[in-house]
Amino acid sequence: MGRRVLVTGAARTTGRRLVGALAEAPEVERVVAVDDFEPREPFPGKVEHLAVDLRSPALVRAVQSAGIDTCVHLGVTAEPRAAGGRVTMKERNVLGTMQLLAAAYHAPDLSRLVLKSTTAVYGAAAGDPAVWTESMSHDTPRHGFGKDAIEVEDYVRSFRRRRPDVAVTVLRLANQVGPTVDNPLTRYFELPVCPTVLGFDPRLQFLHEEDTAEVLLRTILGPAPTGTFNVAGDGVVLLSQAIRIAGKPPLPIPEPLVNRVAELVGRTVDFSPEQVRFLQYGRVADTSAAAEQLGFIPKWSSRHAFEDFAATRLRKLVTEEQVTRAEHEALTVLRRAAGWIAREVPR
């Protein structure tokens, strides 16, 4: 029999790309695509779409009856508004994961579990180390997506202790970008102006969507590695560099006004407080373990990944002269915004 793979979050950007690649793999006999969102296009013929929430009893029956040998969990979301609110988001992320793992525990053929996690587990704060490694303590996130991701990882580690026969791999991915990626960070760079925190220029890492699919495929179909691995494109990009590559004028905001501006931006891009801190302090993770133990080196560096996103999603890379002209054209708008903010903030 060929491989039988269950993928959660299958109708979203990463899931669609992965499911399509698995359907083309000759060693894969069957793919069960789990997501209560409808895919933009029908899944390939080898794929069975299970349109249920992770908390649904139907998921338990599917995992236990389909002879699944590999479970790939992509269904942890970072967008509270899209999920129906922060409470619903936490239920989907944490309780949904608990339900999935409970079903997987009773799946006799299961031999591999892959979790798509995030470097957001490290948080973003003034006292952070220059580079995060997988073994460092990371209790910074106290709420939001980062906290959910920590809890999800904890439950997965607990599952590994109870099912030592299952190879468990946790991939902590940096912020994804690419032609089809749509997330709060890509929407931030699509704003007419990019708000920044005055006096801060954080270091950022990016991961191209092609590299995301490649590392997931390698982990699913290749040798079964056990452990936790940071995955990001080589190098770093300063926020100021990213904004200029995007061709957008920056809007420096004094730190006392940041939360108010974040509330306004959040109405457009589903921004959370932890994402604001990320754009203030940044985050860099060491990826040597993925290179040494997974044998995975991303094709795209952080800068090249972001440039490809800018060239495809933002239409074109712009010249220095074009950026300067855009900044001048936006100057009137920025002055009006600053005056409005000053009037809105209580004295």
What's the chain's length in residues?
347
Give the Cα separation of 293 and 171 in Å (integer): 12
Residue 165 or residue 264, greater confidence: 165
Give the Cα separation of 46 and 260 in Å (integer): 49
DSSP state of 201: -
Q: Is residue 96 part of a domain?
A: yes
Q: Is residue 123 part of a domain?
A: yes
Percent of the chain with pLDDT over 90: 60
SS3 category, 101: helix
Answer for the pair 229, 326: CB distance below 8 angstroms, yes or no: no
Q: If you count DSSP H runs as helices and E runs as strands, how many of each does the chain have, helices first?
A: 14, 13
Answer for the pair 175, 146: CB distance below 8 angstroms, yes or no: no
Tokens of 118: 């995030």
**pLDDT computed for residue 90 by the predictor:** 85
The model's pLDDT over 208-263, given as tens digits with 9 standing for 90+, comes to 999 999 999 999 999 878 999 999 999 999 999 999 999 999 999 999 888 888 88
Give the Cα separation of 327 and 323 in Å (integer): 6
Beta bridge partners of 117: 172
The model's pLDDT over 38-79, given as tens digits with 9 standing for 90+, comes to 888 888 888 999 998 888 888 888 887 888 999 999 988 877
**pLDDT computed for residue 324 by the predictor:** 59
Tokens of 297: 């080196």
Q: Is residue 289 part of a domain?
A: yes
> What average pLDDT does range 164-175 have in this prediction?
97
| CATH (domain of 131) | 3.40.50.720
Q: Is residue 321 part of a domain?
A: no
Give the Cα separation of 239 and 199 in Å (integer): 12
Confidence of residue 344 (pLDDT cuts 50, 70, 90): low
Three-state secondary structure of 261-277? HHHHHHHHHCCCHHHHH
Q: Is residue 171 part of a domain?
A: yes
Q: Is residue 203 part of a domain?
A: no
Q: Is residue 344 part of a domain?
A: no
Q: What angle do CA 47, 50, 55 make, to 5 degrees?
A: 145
Taking the chain, what is the end-to-end CA distance rounded to the nearest angstrom?
70
Average pLDDT, the chain: 87
Q: Which of 190-194, 198-202, 304-308 has the lowest mean pLDDT?
A: 190-194
Number of domains in the chain: 1
**pLDDT computed for residue 119 by the predictor:** 95
Q: Is residue 29 part of a domain?
A: yes
**pLDDT computed for residue 60 by the predictor:** 83
**pLDDT computed for residue 326 by the predictor:** 52
Percent of the chain with pLDDT over 70: 88
Beta bridge partners of 72: 7, 114
**pLDDT computed for residue 224 by the predictor:** 78
The model's pLDDT over 98-143, given as tens digits with 9 standing for 90+, comes to 999 999 999 999 999 999 999 999 989 998 999 999 998 766 666 6
Burial class (CB in 10 A: 0-12, 13-18, 19+), 305: buried
CB atoms within 10 A of CB 247: 17
Q: Which of 143-152, 284-293, 332-341 has the lowest mean pLDDT?
A: 332-341
Rg (CA), the chain: 21
Tokens of 186: 């890509």
Domain that holds residue 105: 3-176+209-231+285-299
Confidence of residue 317 (pLDDT cuts 50, 70, 90): very low
Residue 302 or residue 149, greater confidence: 302
Give the Cα separation of 124 and 151 in Å (integer): 17
> What average pLDDT does range 264-284 have in this prediction?
83
- The per-residue b/e assignment along 57-72, b for 16 or more CB within 10 angstroms, e otherwise, is eebbebbbebebbbbb
Of 102-111, 257-266, 283-292, 332-341, give the range with the top mean pLDDT. 283-292
> What average pLDDT does range 21-36 have in this prediction?
94
SS3 category, 234: coil
**pLDDT computed for residue 141 by the predictor:** 63
Confidence of residue 155 (pLDDT cuts 50, 70, 90): very high
SS3 content of the chain, % helix, strand, coil (to 5): 45, 15, 35
Residue 336 or residue 167, greater confidence: 167
Give the Cα separation of 173 and 229 in Å (integer): 8
